[in-house]
Amino acid sequence: MDLANKLFKGDRVIWIIYMFLCLISVVEVFSATSMLAYKHANHWSPIMRHTMFLLAGTVVALIIHNLPVKYLKAGVVFFPISIVMLALTLVLGAEVNDTQRWLSIAGVPFQPSELAKLGCLIFISLTLSSLKKYSEKQMFRIIVVGVVATCALIFTENLSTAALLFTVSYLMMFIGDISFKRLISLAGVIGILIALFFSILYFTPASAMDKMPKRLGTWQNRITNFSSEENVLDINTYRINDENYQVSHAKIAIARGGVFGKMPGHGQQRDFLPQAYSDFIYAIVIEEMGLVGGLFVLLLYIMLLFRVGVIARKCNSLFPKYLILGCGLLLVIQALINIAVAVSLFPVTGQPLPLMSRGGTSTVLTCVYFGIILSISRFTAHMGDEDQPVEPVEPLVADELINNNLNESTYAIE
């Protein structure tokens, strides 16, 4: 017990959430990779790969959660590096499943968009906390230029990731007290562009799409299939084809799960879903663990967001406050998107379920986010590590806290 207390520091609730997600992930990915296992000489190869990434990510999380918050600021170097890597990926990237998202570094495949998300969060947090250096107008312009440039490089090959990153960035600006007028104007411009983009996708004939980039055709098919009911022949008949194959078998998996599920290892749809261990892992969770297990996983992510909010309120400086909220929002919104896709509330996006889906880059980077959250809870919020001294309050923030306390006292007297 003493060893665990010395090793796993920071907020205990975050560690419990992390451990539960890892445990469920190992069990369900082991079950969902049955088809992959039969394709390998070593049946244990797929789950061993996933477990090794989880263990490596846990080591990374342990290292990061021992770093004081001031060292996390150095992570802003990932922002320009990731932009360069994204540009290189569009030219030199490897094409997998009709998308050019991967860049090989020393023979190891890597998704620069995952690094871009981390670099962008640190960049935004640093900018929003630079009240002495920039005016509110300057901060808004700097963030918008940086985020739009990053999302533009991701957009062509990974629309959902670009949309996710922009959404989280927008929420961080809202939390960072950027003028409501500027945010409304930005939302209006983006809303018009989105409406125009999806209108073009929806109304452009399929024959014309053959002359355009492949991804446009893919997006059009997903939107059309999501909004169409032509596969329902009558009240008792539903047609499964290539376009709705994954979604249909995800629905079957959820329907089979019932309240308590078929128990891990007894799911059937894992053998039919091509991405059962990744994009549709949540459907397999419900099939094997039932609605009870599905709600438990959902509550873990909701609890994560709630706990991140509690830690942020205890932060005595702006940078860690914005950074931890950005990490929490990114993880939870991505999880909600994956869950919404699995239960057919959202078009197929390809976003993995954080920490649970089988992956390499995404798994390790998710562990990095947890490490950052734990570091901030430990060194700034002073939670779960009472032996650590509280970091000094930044002068500007200290003045703001004093003024807020004075105002609250005045209201109390009145």
Arithmetic mean of pLDDT, 147-170: 91
Contact 125, 323 (CB under 8 A): yes
Of how many residues is the chain composed? 414
Looking at residue 414, what is its pLDDT? 34
Q: Is 65 exposed, middle or buried (0-12, 13-18, 19+ CB in 10 A)?
A: buried
Looking at residue 291, what is its pLDDT? 94
**For 258, what's the count of Cα atoms within 13 Å in the CB-facing half-sphere?**
6
Looking at residue 249, what is its pLDDT? 85
Instruction: Kindly give the residue spans of alpha helices, DSSP state H, lying in 275-383.
Output: 281-314, 318-342, 361-379
The verdict on pTM exceeding 0.85 is yes
Q: Which residue has the higher pLDDT, 350 or 196?
A: 196
Considering 41-50, 217-226, 228-237, the range whose residues carry the highest mean pLDDT is 41-50
Share of the chain above pLDDT 90, in %: 50
pLDDT per residue as tens digits for the range 317-346: 999 999 999 999 999 999 999 999 998 888
> With the CA atoms of 137, 168, 109 and 63 taken in that order, what torsion angle do they form, in degrees rounded to the nearest 10?
90
Contact 369, 377 (CB under 8 A): no
pLDDT per residue as tens digits for the range 396-406: 444 444 444 44
Q: What is the rounded distance in angstroms from the CA atom of residue 30 to the CA atom of residue 322?
A: 36
Looking at residue 377, what is its pLDDT? 95
Going from N- to C-terminal start, the domains of the chain cover: 11-405
Positive/negative CA dihedral, 379, 381, 385, 390: positive
Give the confidence band of 407 by pLDDT, cuts at 50, 70, 90.
Answer: very low
pLDDT per residue as tens digits for the range 240-298: 766 678 888 888 899 999 999 999 888 888 878 777 888 889 999 999 999 999 999 99
Q: What is the rounded distance in angstroms from the CA atom of residue 127 to the CA atom of residue 319?
A: 9
Give the confidence band of 147 by pLDDT, cuts at 50, 70, 90.
Answer: very high
Q: What is the rounded distance in angstroms from the CA atom of residue 158 to the CA atom of residue 100?
A: 9
Q: Collect all residues with Cβ–Cβ distance below 8 Å to 20 and sequence separation of at least 6.
A: 300
Contact 292, 259 (CB under 8 A): yes
The tokens of 334 are what? 């991505």
